[in-house]
Every structure is written in C-alpha cells, then in structure tokens.
Chain A
Amino acid sequence: MIRTRGLCYQYASGGAPLRFPDVDLRQGGTLLLRGRSGTGKSTWLSLIAGLRGAGGGDLFVAGTQIGTQRGAEIDAWRARHIGFLPQKLYLSSALSVADNLALAYFAAGLPRDDAAIARALARVGVAELGERKPHQLSGGQAQRVALARAVLLAPQLLLADEPTASLDDEAAADALALLQDTAAACEASLVIATHDQRVVRALPGAQVLDLNEIGLQRLLDKREQL
C-alpha cells in the first residue's frame, strides 16, 4: 500500500518545492504514474523507494512510515519491501542470469537461495536461461529476468519504470500481463510509471497519478517569479 499526505520535495538547487497530490493505494492495487519527463516522476518514485528524503508531508509505504529511519534501516527495508523493474533493466553483464538474481540476496545481506532463484525464473517463463549471460538474451527475455530479480524477495510493492517503452503492441500487452500476474502472485501493489497511452488503455481500472498537472503548476509558479 501507499498513502501520501501533502508529500512535497525540495530540490537542493532551491526554488519552489514540488508538491504531489495525495495518493491512497490499497495493498495489491495498481497505480499508473503519468507525466512527461521533468514533471517529477522519478522524484516521486525515489521518495516512495526511500532513496530521497521528503521535504514535507507524510508518506506510508507497505505499512511503514518513511523518513524516520536511518540509512542502513531504510536500505534493509527497501531490500525486503520494494521490487524495482528499471526501464534499462541494468542486468550486470559480468554475471550470469542466476548470479544477477543472486545480487538481490547479496544486497539484502541474505544467504543465496538457488532453489528460489530457479522458481522465480520459472515463474516468468525463462527457467532455462539461468546460466546465460545478459548479452545472450533477447530484449523480452532480459525484461523477464529483471522482473524475476525484482520479485525474488516477494516485495510488497513493485515499481516498474516505463515497462512498455520500445516494445511493439503485442509485446507490450504481454509485458503488462506478466507484470500484473507477477505482482498478483506475490500480492504486491504495482506502480507503473509510464507515458504510454497503451498502458492507460490496457489498465482501465487502475488508479492514476497524473503529474502533468503539477508540472504545469510549477511552470506557472516560475513564470510568476519572473
């Protein structure tokens, strides 16, 4: 779940703080985060993941109030509760697919569980690719591997950044379906940051947080300052 109240972020460079609309996402729900680049999409994501401190307001993610923890605590919390599917995937080219998944254990400071890695790969339909290197994968396979990595530790919240960018219609539909199925399988809430209309159309029931409006608001603020 995600609940924000008056969440805002103050850029280090100064200027007016970025104010985000309140969000209430129940556990297991889906949220579409929309907005052109520069509207604060990545800032909102990094606030939710505990990577940046909020400038104000209250933020609850997966039952925890974010902002009160020290660095190591928030890292450990992120390891256990947040799954992240980045747009560029970021599979390490030095490691095999299975070792890439094992990074999640290493990062969390947990012992490696090869059986769980095999299960996670099987769940996204790439059970046979464990020994390959990332450069030997197709784009779709690589995304599945990255998804397996994201949900390996059964997170309560799955963040997906532009999962359909550069995919054709059919592949995009598959990717979305897999993303939803995977999130549902571990009962995770799903946040999809996207500006792809196909995603909006494919997920008519999802909640939407549209940052284009606040982007517009900031623009107006700036104009006033001038």
Chain B
Amino acid sequence: MKSIVQLARLSWRYLWSRPLAAVLNLLVLTLGLAAITLVLLVATQLDRAFERDLAGIDLVVGAKGSPLQLILAGVFHIDVPTGNIPLQDVQALQANPLVAQVIPLSLGDSFQGARIVGTTPDYVQHYGATLAQGRLWQQPMEAVLGAGVAHGGLAVGAAFIGSHGLGGGGHAHGDHPYRVSGVLAPCGCVLDRLILTGTESVWKVHEAATADEPEDLEILKEEREVTVALLRYRSPLAAVTLPRQINADTALQAAAPAIEVTRLLRLLGVGADVLRAFGGVLLAVAAASVFIALWNAVRERRADLAMLRMLGAPPGRVAGLVLWEALWLAALASLLGLLLGHALAQALGWALQAQGLLPVSGLVWLPAEAGVPLLAALVAALAALLPALQAYRTDVADLLGQP
C-alpha cells in the first residue's frame, strides 16, 4: 500500500515535469471523454423522454401530411401540426368499438413560447400528472400551467393573453385573457412544457377572433375542429386494422408513434453515432498522443529509469511508474471529461429549452457514466503498454562505464 502511494506520488511528479505534454494529452483525452459523456447523456435522456411521452399512446390521428410531423406535433409538441380535423370525425372514432380512449388536442396559440393546448382532463390523467397548486380548469378560459412554464413567474389567479401561432410573435388575443387555475407538479414529461386548458377555450378564442356576425359564430360552431387525437386501443388487434381503415377510408391520417419514433431515433441515431465516432476518434488520437509522450518520456528518462534499477527497483516497479503516469492522466481526464460533458449537456438543454424543444439536463448522472473512467483507464493503459514494456526492459548496464 505504502509503495503504491509512493509510486503514485513519484509518477505524478514525473507527469508534471513535462507540463506541456501533460496538458496537451489531458486536453485531447478530456475532449474525447466529454464527447462520449455528452452523447450518453443526451441520447439516454431523449430516449427516456420519448418513452415517457409515448407511453400508452397507440395511435395519433390528425390531418393528412407527414406522419412523423404529426407525431412530433401531437405527442412531443416540437413541430407544427399538419392541420386540423373535424370534431365530428373524432367523435366518430370515439364510437369505434376498437378504441378505448380518445384524447383530443387543439393547438394554435402559445404564451411566451409555451403551447396552449385545449384538451380534456383525460390528458392530465394519461401522464399521471398531479397538481402542485390550485385545481384543473373547470370553465372556459381557465388554464393549468406545466411545471416548466410556471417558472416564468405566473401563479394561480394570474391572467395572461395567448398569442396566435405556436412560435410566439403572432397577434395577441387581447379580448380573451386566460386565468391560471392551477399549476402541475413536475412530471418529467411533455406536460411540463405546456399550458393546458379546455378545448372550448381554444374554440372560443378563435371563433370570436374570426366571426364578425352572430350567424358566423353559429356556422363556426357547426364546423368545430381539433388538431390531433391521441388514441388508445381496446385490444392489440386494433393495430392491424384501425390505422389502415383510417388512412384509406377517411380524410384523416393515422400514425403509429412506435413506428415513427423508431424512424426518428434512427435519424437522430445517425447524429449520435457521428458524435460518438467523433469521441472515439478523439480518444484514439489521445491514445496515440499519450503513447508518443510516454514513449519519449521513457527515452528521455532512460538514465533515470536505469538508475532506479541500479538502486534496486525491480523492473515491474519501473514499468509501474510509466503506467501510473498514464493512469493519472486518465483519472484527471475522466474528472474533467465528465464535468465538461455535463456542462455541454446543460448548455444544450438551455438552447433546446429556449426553443421549446425536448428537455435535456446536465444535472442528471447516469450509472452508465461509470464506464467513462473505465474507458479512460483502458485507453491510458493501452497507450502506456509499450512504453511501460520499454521501461521494464531498461538495461542498467548502460549506466556503467559510459565514456
């Protein structure tokens, strides 16, 4: 034990006796590990977010268009919807014996980048969200804030005005302010980023904005629409017939989230793979760089190492000195790499959140990250292998009788 401490201390000194090489190697190794940590964090969190947001939704029905867009808009609320569908069609779906539950969603307005979603209380129940304050909406123009939206400073009882469009910057529906009736507890799902209200509220705001005459209002009432409907099947058998039936026989589009998300993850996966490969390349460069540095160090220090042998150090101890130098690098780089990876994930999270996109945080620590120090140690040990062997074979006799 004592000799391990001595070994570690001595190799630490040797490492920093060449500060430039040490810092350079540390840098490359850190960047590689940070890239891998970042991919790990983001990919895992996105997978989890997708999984949570999708749980229990068997089919998404909306206007014709891109099925992926429909899922992104209807389930994850990160894309614009394909259009609206008539309420009657949704009601028809509800009557279908294959369907257990239909949750209608009406999109169109937003407040400070958070989408205002007109829906039924089923939507809240579906994600198992609970209220942190207040109560659910009970009449038109009452709204419940997701936990993330409430950070904006709105509290129960406050009023706010939705603006038309999902991105913000649309005209304000000034005549119809919403009143906050409750705030949801954080659920780690899509609801955190939404403002929920009754479907009627959305209709009310838009009908009043479009209609000039009372008769128009009546006509609009006849033609009420929603944006998407989230369906849960009564039996798995429905998956075989229902989507095809909807797509072929109606003006609606049905998209199975499982299929679309697999497609999406495959697309995102390419990005993750590229970043991961980039991290791998950085690590390979780091390994080469550490190898060259150690190789040179052993050559420069051949006399030092031979002197150690002369002083009675067994070859293993001399080789251990080189190996430990690499392990120090690995330990430092693991620490810095993990910190940098988390900082980058956090920065990415901020950037994504600013655009109202998926939640990614750098404050989450995953068990899989334990693999990062292991990977670093492996890379370092691999790089140190030949130099350590070289040190092991140091010929002491070189010291003697040199002219």
* Contact present for B314 and A75 (CB under 8 Å): yes
Known A-B contacts A90-B303, A111-B2; the reply to A45 vs B312 at CB < 8 A is no
Q: Does A108 contact B (CB under 8 A)?
A: yes
Q: Which of B312-335 contact A (CB under 8 A)?
A: 312-315, 317
> How distant is the Cα of A161 from the Cα of B304 in the complex, in angstroms?
17
Q: Which of A55-85 contact B (CB under 8 A)?
A: 71-72, 75-80, 82, 84
Nearest CB in chain B: distance from A180 CB, A: 21
* Contact present for B17 and A103 (CB under 8 Å): no
Known A-B contacts A41-B401, A46-B400; the reply to A90 vs B312 at CB < 8 A is no
**Which of B6-14, B87-95, B198-206, B242-250 interfaces with chain A?**
B6-14
**Could you tell me how many residues of chain A have their Cβ less than 8 Å away from some Cβ of chain B?**
40
* Contact present for A90 and B10 (CB under 8 Å): no
Contacts of B304 in A (CB 8 A): 90, 92, 94
Q: Does A86 contact B (CB under 8 A)?
A: yes
Contacts of B382 in A (CB 8 A): none
Known A-B contacts A75-B313, A106-B313; the reply to A161 vs B400 at CB < 8 A is yes
Contacts of B310 in A (CB 8 A): 49, 51, 78, 84, 86
Q: Which of B295-317 contact A (CB under 8 A)?
A: 301, 303-304, 306-315, 317
Question: Which of B304, B309, B310, B312: most chain A CB closer than 10 A?
Answer: B312
* Contact present for A78 and B303 (CB under 8 Å): no
Q: Which of A10-54 contact B (CB under 8 A)?
A: 37, 41-43, 45-46, 49, 51-52
Nearest CB in chain B: distance from A171 CB, A: 20
Contacts of A95 in B (CB 8 A): 10, 13, 17
* Contact present for B307 and A71 (CB under 8 Å): no
* Contact present for A45 and B311 (CB under 8 Å): no
Known A-B contacts A94-B14, A95-B13, A107-B317; the reply to A161 vs B401 at CB < 8 A is yes
> How distant is the Cα of A37 from the Cα of B400 in the complex, in angstroms?
11
Q: Does B366 contact A (CB under 8 A)?
A: no
> How distant is the Cα of A92 from the Cα of B135 in the complex, in angstroms?
75
Nearest CB in chain B: distance from A36 CB, A: 10
* Contact present for B312 and A79 (CB under 8 Å): yes
- In the complex formed, the residue of A with least CB distance to B315 is A71
**Could you tell me how many residues of chain B have their Cβ less than 8 Å away from some Cβ of chain A?**
29
Known A-B contacts A103-B307, A109-B317; the reply to A45 vs B3 at CB < 8 A is no
* Contact present for B17 and A107 (CB under 8 Å): no
Q: Does A104 contact B (CB under 8 A)?
A: yes
Question: Which of A76, A86, A88, A93: most chain B CB closer than 10 A?
Answer: A86
* Contact present for A42 and B6 (CB under 8 Å): no
Contacts of A94 in B (CB 8 A): 13-14, 17, 301, 304
Contacts of A111 in B (CB 8 A): 2
* Contact present for B313 and A86 (CB under 8 Å): no
Contacts of B13 in A (CB 8 A): 94-95, 99
- In the complex formed, the residue of A with least CB distance to B403 is A37
Q: Does A193 contact B (CB under 8 A)?
A: yes
Q: Does B132 contact A (CB under 8 A)?
A: no
* Contact present for B3 and A109 (CB under 8 Å): yes
Nearest CB in chain B: distance from A102 CB, A: 8
> How distant is the Cα of A86 from the Cα of B309 in the complex, in angstroms?
13
* Contact present for B10 and A106 (CB under 8 Å): yes
* Contact present for A42 and B2 (CB under 8 Å): no
Q: Does B402 contact A (CB under 8 A)?
A: yes
Q: Does A141 contact B (CB under 8 A)?
A: no
* Contact present for A37 and B314 (CB under 8 Å): no
* Contact present for B2 and A90 (CB under 8 Å): no
Q: Does B396 contact A (CB under 8 A)?
A: yes
- In the complex formed, the residue of B with least CB distance to A94 is B17
- Cβ-neighbour of B401 out of A79, A106, A193 (below 8 A): A193
Q: Does A212 contact B (CB under 8 A)?
A: no
Contacts of A79 in B (CB 8 A): 311-313
Q: Does B399 contact A (CB under 8 A)?
A: yes
* Contact present for A107 and B397 (CB under 8 Å): no
Between A and B, 6 residue pairs with Cβ closer than 8 Å are A49-B310, A51-B309, A76-B314, A86-B307, A106-B3, A107-B313
